[in-house]
Amino acid sequence: MNWKVVFQASLFGLAMGVATVFLIPSRIEPLFWLVVFVATAYFLAKRCANRFFLHGVLVGLANSVWSRPRTSCCSIDTSPAIPRKPR
């Protein structure tokens, strides 16, 4: 198990989470998520010798840890997201 790789791969999700709040419009957000998923899968395939699925699951869990504070922050102060995210 390579925890350093799991942490590094989860940083893609953290960067994307911040970008979806401040930079990326919602109409093209799914395309960016697709790029992040493919980049993460490629990163894991290159860096891990075995247990690809387990590494991917752990990256997903790490991304859920990153997304909690971001979601909480946006629910408290929605001013950055409201002008760019129509309901």
Q: Could you say which DSSP state residue 2 is in? A: -
pLDDT averaged over the chain?
76
Residue 86 confidence (pLDDT) = 55
List all residues 6 or more positions away from 33 whose beta carbon is below 8 Å from its beta carbon.
16
pTM above 0.85, yes or no: no
Residue 34 confidence (pLDDT) = 87
Band of residue 50 on the pLDDT scale cut at 50, 70, 90: confident
Q: How far apart are CA 66 and CA 69, in angstroms?
A: 6
Q: Could you say which DSSP state residue 25 is in? A: -
Residue 3 confidence (pLDDT) = 82
44: enclosing H helix or E strand: helix 29-47
Residue 75 confidence (pLDDT) = 54
Band of residue 61 on the pLDDT scale cut at 50, 70, 90: confident
